[in-house]
Amino acid sequence: MSALKPKHQRLVLVVVALIALIAAGLLAAYALRSQASYFYLPEQMRDDPPAIGQAVRLGGMVEAGSLATDADGFTLRFMVTGSDGARVPVRFAGIAPDLFVEGSGVVAEGRLGADGTFVADNLLAKHDENYVPRELEGMSQLQAAEMAEDTTVGLE
């Protein structure tokens, strides 16, 4: 019996390539599934919490008056609140971002502990639309514009 005709060879090649692409896509989806970090609001964390130890993100506002530093000077404890008053206790050991303050928005990346405390590995602080760099605080718009102009002289 003779070899396959060129037309059939191309068909076999296309089918094999399609199978390889589908297999690669399924393998990538399976690998990413375990790495996905779902986003939860405090009310979602209260109503339908993730599995203990599952990597998730928790977003909300840092409750005013809830920020406390442990005796080690390194561990922060605070409450993240949602729009309906839901509260989630959070523990973070590390250096907090400069914009992290009470009453500001925060996204905490971490895991829910067995005691119901969210153990954050990373904090992302969000600022409002009125953000002003420290160097420009207390300056009028005219003074800030003059300072910006002074810093750009010589760059042209």
Residue-wise pLDDT for 31-74, tens only, equals: 777 666 688 899 998 898 888 988 899 999 999 999 999 999 88
For residue 105, being part of any structural domain is answered with: yes
13-23: per-residue pLDDT in tens?
Answer: 999 999 999 99
| Residue 114 clears pLDDT 70, i.e. is over it | yes
For residue 49, being part of any structural domain is answered with: yes
For residue 92, being part of any structural domain is answered with: yes
Q: What is the pLDDT of residue 91?
A: 96
Q: What is the pLDDT of residue 1?
A: 47
Name the residue range of residue 58's domain.
38-126
Question: What total of structural domains would you count in the chain?
Answer: 1
For residue 63, being part of any structural domain is answered with: yes
Collapsed DSSP state (helix, strand, coil) of residue 100: coil
For residue 145, being part of any structural domain is answered with: no
Collapsed DSSP state (helix, strand, coil) of residue 115: coil
CA atoms lying within 13 Å on the CB side of residue 111: 8
**Domain containing residue 50: CATH number:** 2.40.50.140
pTM for this prediction: 0.61
What is d(CA 6, CA 16) in angstroms, rounded to the nearest whole number?
A: 15
